[in-house]
Every structure is written in structure tokens, then in C-alpha cells.
Amino acid sequence: MTNRKGSIERFETGENFYSQQFFGCHKMVQKEKNGYVFRVWAPKAQTIWLVGDFNEWNRSLSLKKDEQFGVWEIFTTKPKEGDFYKYLVKQEDGREVYKIDPFAVRFEKRPKDAAIIHTLPEKKWKDGLWQGRKKRSNYFKRPLNIYEVHASSWKCEEDGSPYTFHSLKDTLIPYVKEMGFSHIEFMPLMEHPLGMSWGYQLIGYFALCSYYGTTEEFQEFVEECHLNNIGVLIDWVPGHFCINDDALAYFDGTAQFEYTDEIRAKNIRWGSLNFDLSKPEVQSFLISSALYWIETFHIDGIRVDAVSNMLYLDYDDGPTILNPDGSNRNWDGYYFLQKLNAVIKQAHPDLIMIAEESSSETKITGTIESGALGFDYKWNLGWMNDTLCFYEMDVVFRKYNFHLITFSFMYMMNENYILPLSHDEVVHGKRSLMHKMWGDRYKQFSQLRNLYVYMMTHPGKKLLFMGSEWGQFLEWKYDEHLEWIDLDDEMNHNMQHFTQILNTFYKNERALWELDHIFETIEIIDADNSEETVLSFIRKGKAKKDFLIIILNFTPIERKDFVIGVPFSGKYEEVLNTEMKEYGGTWTASNPVSETIAEPFKQFDHQIQTIVPALGAIILKPKEINTRSKKK
């Protein structure tokens, strides 16, 4: 009784971070009888019945209410593993509604939506080496190159049904390993009733979407990823939830999970409901969900979706309610996010916490003590918007808008950033990354290679959405698999090969990630050459000789005898050229080794000359240099 009362009290004070171990459906022995106990929080409900296969969906099983806490409970010997069940809730106004179990761990396949009684067996994990290495390493100083995946549209079976994680284990993991990505990030995997929502409108915060297979299959998938040195990240949506009548929405007939004020409760932009993040019970529920995914599946990181929606009262469309002083900060969301990060980091210091956040008014990454929210990384949506706007532009106008490609250097250290080329940019008529590029098909591939070099060499971690690695021309379709047939085309095949080479190059070059989040990682050579529209800069590692020189040409004009400054005298060799024939370009040989000339160039005492291909990018590396030579 003490444990029961303690679990409820911690839940009601926002401190029960394992509330799924008490609520939901659990095996139990009572008076020497084997059965199941069902518990649900619904303080304003009049009556709740447990209905399912085991009682022919009738009202024979009534739950008993704890009046002090608003928790309903029943023990029964009738159900068995695999049975379907729901709650029939007589709400405060007398309306009777079938509701799902908010803590259910398995559901039947949509469009059906009953929960399934399931006891998850304890798994004996085999990823100890991965976990140990993760604890000893500093992910800020390691390569982080994410392959973003929508699980049900990466590949499909011949009948159109999506691959489950059983099939993805044998296909996606070898592919990601071969391509050289360090992590897979999945769009939300939790139970959701509408595929069109891509998983961002949830009903089951503790259940793997039945469309994707079983809990055990996903555990095996993550384990296999770790055995192949691949990390797994997941998207998670604590800000808003599905408005469906049989789910969390107005569960007991009142604003139970959502805000009492209808304006704050409604999320007009996404047609959903906002969690009342000030409620202790909601905090317990959501943090329990996050820890459940981390610990049940050995997840390596969580990307929290739509953080701006939780931070600002006027983020949504339509009417808003501001603070009494007229400010727009949603303090409920602000303090919840700090609490979320504090709890998770205390339990799992090596877990990566990522925010998808679009404003610059709140410090997102950094310590909570400094006033930040406590995230490790933030998606750099400003970089993404400016960059894609620039690459979509006719080359004639690029020199007048050169700031779009250079402005990010002004704020690149304001947060710990991930540079995302995500799913959001290849849907809703925005066109695929390939289709965004200016010019004919050859020029589009040239610029796509150029874009990926710019992303890989710019400070910040990396993310690329599936299909973009080979330049899929069609927009992403959530209900169909990727256009794998593209790879029969030589240009797409060469593009995929280039992405693989670039990923490997990124992983092997410490200068591209070792000092990623401090200013010492980069030195601008020339960000003012708008007339020729060529950008050049240096990326540096810890060692003095460990640096790369990056030159990007954003015009279809080959720049012969192109001059740049270099930090040391000596020889520099080309280590990557986007216009090599093997990548889909026309060059059959690399630039020759460049020797320095003792003439000044901006802050440098030495310079070199090279050829920069049209719409191409080249990367140079010191071959024989004198590090005792000084720059101005």
C-alpha cells in the first residue's frame, strides 16, 4: 500500500519518472491468483469499465476509484496475453466514450486502435562495448553525421506494406554502414493513427507503432546498430498530441492532459491539442515516456520536436493569450524543458538531447544554470533556410545575395548546432533537394555535390534526409518507398557514390569535428568575393598541421589561377574535387600540388594558385609545410 500511495503521490507532484511501471496493464498475483491489474488516471470521470476480448466488450468489469487521487484500478483474472482492451469512460458530463490506455505498450494495427495486453520480456543486451565506448567519449568532439529516416517509407514490400524493423535490420543497417553515416534518426516511432501525420500526432507514448513491428524487433534493430557502430536517435513530441476522441483528448471529459483555456489548448497549425506542461501529472507522464524509450530500447539520443511551440504563447496561428505584462514566453514550457533535460541528463549523461527550434530569443543549448534549456544541440534552421534559398537562386543573382551563404559564420557559435537538410524541406511542393538546384540536370548534380561539401565543412554536426544522398528528383511521399529505381541511372549512382566518399572523408578528417563548437575550428580566408561568388575558409583540428582549405565556387564559370591565402609556406595537395568523373563530373585528373608564393593575401603572408571547377568545390590539405612561418 505504501508503494502504491508513493507512486501516485510522486505522479501527482510531477516526480514519478517511471509512472508506466504503476499505470497501465501489469501482470499481478493477488490472493494466490494470477491476473492483471489495470490502472488509469481520470480524476473527473464518473465511472470507468474495462472492456475487451475477455468479457465480450461488456460492462461487467468496473474499475474502483481512489477518491483522493483520481486513480482508477481493477484486478481481474479474466484477461490473457494478447487480448485486446479499452476503457469505457463515463465522463464528467455523463457522456460515455471508449478510450485507449494512455500507458499501453502495444496496439493493434491501424485503422484499429485497441490496446493489446503484452508483458515485455527482459532483454539481455549484447551492446556493452558500444555503451562503454559511448560513456568514455565526448560526442561534442566526435563526428556526428545523421541519416534521417521515415521508417515506413524507406523501403516497402512488394504488396506496398512497409518494411518492419525485422526487415530493416537486414537492409537499412548495412546500407547506413556502407554509406558512412554515424547515426540513424527516426521520425516518431510511437503509435499514431494517421500515416499522413508522419508520426507527429501521437496516441501511444509508450508503444512502438504497430505498423513498424514489435517492441522486441525494434530492440533487436537497435542492438544490431550498436554492434555495427551506428547510433540511433528518435523524434519525440511532448508539445502536442492527437485530437482523436478515443485517445488522450479530454480523457475524463475535462481538460485533463490539455490546457483548461481552450485557446491555449488548441493547436490550430497542426490540428492537435497542446499538453498543459504546468500540470505535475503531465510532467510525470511525458518524462516517463522519454525515459521509457531511452531505457527500453537503448536509444542514444532524442530530438524534441516543435520546441518553439512550447516556448512561445503566440507561436500558433489564430488567437493567442499572452502574459499579463504582454510578453509571449510560455514559462510552463520553458521550465518543463529544463526539467526534462535535467532529469534525463542525471540518469543518462551520455544521451544526446536535440531541439528542433526556430527562434533566436531563447538560449537552447548549454547548462540550465546559465539560463539555457539544457539541450546538447539545436537544429540550425536559419542556416538551412538561407542556404537552400541561395542554392535555388539563379546564378546571375547569387553575387548580390552572397550574404545568404556567409551570414551563418556570424552566429555559428551562438549554439551547438546541427545543420539539417531534413524531411521538412522535400515535401509540400518545396521540391526535393535535387529539384531545388538551378539549371539543367548536370548542373543540378554539380550543385548538390557543392551543397553537401558546404554542409560537411561548415562548423556544426550534420543531418541528411533519406533519398537525398543520391539526389532523388521526386518529392518524398510518406506512403510510398523511395525511388530506388533512380540508382539504375548513372548520374544518381555517381551521386550516391560521392555522398559515401564525402561521409567517409568527414569521419576521417578530425579538422571537421574535433573543435566543432569553438571559434578556433575555423578561419575565414575570403568571404567577401561576391563578384566571383567564391567562398574560401579553413577548418582546423587540434594539431597545428591538421587543417583543411575549402574553396566553393557558386557560379558555372571555372576559376583558373584562383588565388587564396594560406597560413604556412610549403605545398598543398587537393584531396577532394566534386567535379571528378567518378562523382558525375568531367574532370579526369585532380589539380596538381600547389606551392606557396611569398606574397600577402589578406591576413596571410603566403598564397597559392589553383583551379576551382565551375559550380564545384575543392578541398586542399597541407602536404609539406613550414609551421614556423608566420602570418600577419
* pLDDT tens digits for range 568-577: 999 999 999 9
We report the CATH number of the domain holding residue 73 as: 2.60.40.10
Amino acid identity for residue 329 in this structure:
R
Whole-number pLDDT of residue 1: 39
430 within a domain of the structure (yes/no): no
Grid cell listed for 587: 574532370
Question: How many structural domains comprise the chain?
Answer: 2
324 within a domain of the structure (yes/no): no
Percent of the chain, pLDDT > 90? 95
Of residues 258, 281, 300, 305, which has the active-site annotation? 305
Whole-number pLDDT of residue 627: 85
280 within a domain of the structure (yes/no): no
160 within a domain of the structure (yes/no): no
Report the mean per-residue pLDDT for the chain: 96
Whole-number pLDDT of residue 2: 46
42 within a domain of the structure (yes/no): yes
321 within a domain of the structure (yes/no): no
Summarize pLDDT for 200-234 with one digit per residue, the tens: 999 999 999 999 999 999 999 999 999 999 999 99
**Distance from C-alpha of 393 to C-alpha of 401, rounded to nearest angstrom:** 9
Q: Let me know if 490 is exposed, middle or buried by CB neighbors in 10 A (0-12, 13-18, 19+).
A: exposed
Pick the last residue of a domain from 54, 83, 116.
116
Cell 571559434, residue? Answer: 519
Summarize pLDDT for 493-509 with one digit per residue, the tens: 999 999 999 999 999 99
With beta carbons less than 8 A apart as the criterion, state whether 502 and 580 touch: no
pLDDT interval class at 629 (50, 70, 90): low
Going by C-alpha positions, the residue among 560, 561, 550 that lies closest to residue 621 is 550
**Distance from C-alpha of 284 to C-alpha of 561, rounded to nearest angstrom:** 64
**Distance from C-alpha of 37 to C-alpha of 30, rounded to nearest angstrom:** 9
563 within a domain of the structure (yes/no): yes
Give pTM, 2 decimals. Answer: 0.96
Going by C-alpha positions, the residue among 340, 100, 83 that lies closest to residue 236 is 340
Pick the last residue of a domain from 94, 116, 138.
116
pLDDT interval class at 630 (50, 70, 90): low
We report the CATH number of the domain holding residue 622 as: 2.60.40.1180
Pick the last residue of a domain from 81, 116, 151.
116
Confirm whether 369 is a catalytic residue.
no
Q: What residues contact 172, with CB distance under 8 A and at least 6 apart?
A: 149, 154, 155, 163, 184
DSSP 593: P
Whole-number pLDDT of residue 110: 87
Summarize pLDDT for 541-560 with one digit per residue, the tens: 999 999 999 999 999 999 99
**pLDDT (mean) for 526-548:** 97
Going by C-alpha positions, the residue among 520, 542, 547 that lies closest to residue 623 is 547
pLDDT interval class at 4 (50, 70, 90): confident
Summarize pLDDT for 111-143 with one digit per residue, the tens: 899 999 999 999 999 999 999 999 999 999 999
pLDDT interval class at 160 (50, 70, 90): confident
Separation in Å, CA 155 to CA 23, 49, 186, 477: 36, 41, 14, 12
Q: Is the pLDDT of residue 582 over 50?
A: yes
Other Cβ atoms within 10 Å of 414 Cβ, number? 14
Confirm whether 305 is a catalytic residue.
yes
Of residues 316, 356, 486, 516, which has the active-site annotation? 356
374 within a domain of the structure (yes/no): no
Going by C-alpha positions, the residue among 513, 391, 505, 507 that lies closest to residue 458 is 513
**pLDDT (mean) for 603-617:** 97
Q: Is the pLDDT of residue 298 over 80?
A: yes
With beta carbons less than 8 A apart as the criterion, state whether 380 and 460 touch: yes
pLDDT interval class at 631 (50, 70, 90): low
Could you list the residue range(s) of the whole structural domain that residue 103 is in? 2-116
Summarize pLDDT for 257-271 with one digit per residue, the tens: 999 999 999 999 999
Tell me which of 162 and 238 has the higher pLDDT: 238
Q: Let me know if 87 is exposed, middle or buried by CB neighbors in 10 A (0-12, 13-18, 19+).
A: buried
Going by C-alpha positions, the residue among 349, 407, 342, 337 that lies closest to residue 378 is 337
